[in-house]
Amino acid sequence: MGWNSWDCYGASVNEEEVRGNAEYMARHLKDFGWEYVIVDIQWYEPGANSSQYRNFVPLVMDEYSRLQPAENRFPSSAGGKGFAPLAEYVHSLCLKFGIHIMRGIPRQAVHSASRILGSERTARDIAHPNSICPWNTDMYGVDAAQEGSQTYYDSLFELYASWGVDYVKVDDIAASRLYGYHKDEIELIRKAIDRCGREIVLSLSPGPAPLEEAEHLAGHANLWRMTDDYWDHWHLLRGMFERCEQWAAYVQPGHWPDCDMLPLGHLGIRSVDGGGDRFTRFTPDEQVTMMTLWSIFRSPLMFGGELRDNDEWTLSLLTNEEVLHLHRYGKGGISVLRNDELAIWTAEDEQGNHYVAIFNLSDENLNVHLSFQQLNLPAQATIRDLWRGCAFEAEEDAVSQDLPPHGCLLLKFTKEKPL
C-alpha cells in the first residue's frame, strides 16, 4: 500500500513533491497501513517535464554505468549522495522508500563503453542492443549470457541498498511489446536483490504479464502487473474483472498479481497520459467498485493522485478500516458469477467471517435479489455493509438491493454463535 508519482507527475516529479506526499501519508494514512512512497520513471533525467519522454537526451550517470538522481530535481542528492538523504527523510516518517527503474543498461553507457563496478567488462560488452523498449530510449537490454551481466545488476542493487531503497519497480520487463517476457533479466535482478544485503520489494511492469509464467513470477517477484497502464475509464475497470478471475489462484502472501495504480483524486498534473490535469473521471460509484475489487482480490494498493489535494471523499476511500481489513487479511477471494450485468466475488478472513461483493456492471440501475443459499453464506449471521459502515437488513435470508450503474455492495457476514 502506498503512493506512486506517475499518475500525477509523469516522469517529472521533484523532491519537494515527493516529500510533501510522504508527509501527507505519514499524517493521514500511515495508521491505516499505507507505507510506500515511490518515485517513478526518469528521476535521472534533468529536463523531464511531463509523461512524454525526451528521446536520446543526456542522463545523469556515475562512472560505473549507474543512473543517478538529477540534482536540479532532487537537490539532496548533490555531492554523490544519490537518494540516500530522501530515503532517510521518508524513513524518519516511519514510511518506506521506493524507485522505478528500466530494465537494462543506459544506452549512453554502452555508446561510451563505460565501466562496470567489479568487472573488467564494459557496458558495451554486456548490452543487448537489439533488446530495446519501444516507448523509451534510455536503455538497452542486458545480455544475461555475457560475463559481467550479473555483476552489473549486483552493482545496481548494492547502490540502491546503500541509499536505503525498500522497493524497486522494474519496467519493460514483465510484458515487453516487442520481446515478451524477459525471464533472464528477471532472474539476474532477483539474484542481485538476494545478494545486496537489504530486503527490497520487487515489482514488475508493465502487463499483462503472461499467465503461463505465473510460477516463475511468484518465484522471483513480489508483485507483477496484470495490465498495461490503467487509467480512469470504465471499460478498463470492467475489463479488470476478467483479469482478476484469471489470476485469483496465484494471490499468495508475498506474491501479488497487481491491478496497477488507483487513478483517484487529482491526476495528470504534469502527466499528459490518460487525459491531462483533472480530478478522476470515475464516478463515486465507480471509485467504490474499484476499491472493492482491488480489496477482495487483494491487489497491491498504489494511490496515483496528488495526495495533498485529496478531499474528504477520496480520503474516506483510503481509510475505511473494515474494507482494509478484508484487503489485509482476506483469503480465497474468488469470482462466483459474472455476466453482462452482474459480477459476484466472495472471500473469507482469518476469523472465518464471510464477505460478498456484488457489482452492477451494467449502465442501468439493477435490482439484485440473491438468497444466502445461492451465495453459500450462513443463514444465521450478523451482516455489515462495509462502505456505509452500518448493519445490513436482509430480507428472508436473502440480499436484496438496488445498485446504481457501475456500483457495488460489499457485505461482511459474521456467523452468530448459538446461545
For residue 97, pLDDT over 80 is answered with: yes
Read off the pLDDT of each residue in 118-146 and give the average, rounded to a whole number.
97
Q: Looking at this protein, which amino acid is placed at residue 380? A: Q
pLDDT(167) > 90:
yes
Q: What per-residue confidence (pLDDT) applies to 361?
A: 98
SS3 content of the chain, % helix, strand, coil (to 5): 35, 25, 40
Whole-number Cα distances in Å, 20 to 37, 46, 87, 120, 380? 11, 20, 13, 42, 48
Tell me the domain boundaries of the chain: 2-319, 335-415
What single string gives the DSSP state of each residue in 76-102?
GGGGGTTTHHHHHHHHHTT-EEEEEEE
What does pLDDT average to over the chain?
Answer: 96
Share of the chain above pLDDT 70, in %: 99
Tell me, which fold does domain 2-319 have in CATH?
TIM Barrel (3.20.20)
CA dist 240 → 23, 234, 356 (Å): 31, 10, 18
Instruction: State how far the Cα of 165 lies from the Cα of 173, in Å rounded to an integer.
Output: 20
Q: How far is CA 213 from CA 157, 181, 216, 221, 254, in A?
A: 24, 8, 5, 12, 17
Q: Is the pLDDT of residue 273 over 90?
A: no
pTM: 0.96
Mean pLDDT of 252-272: 94
Does 418 have pLDDT greater than 60?
A: no
The string of pLDDT tens digits covering residues 295-354 is 999 999 999 999 999 999 999 999 999 999 999 999 999 999 999 999 999 999 999 999
**pLDDT tens for residues 192-250?**
999 999 999 999 999 999 999 999 999 999 999 999 999 999 999 999 999 999 999 99
For the domain spanning 335-415, the CATH number is: 2.60.40.1180
What is the dihedral sign for C-alpha 312, 324, 346, 235? positive
Q: Which amino acid is at 294?
A: W
Tell me the residue type at 376.
N
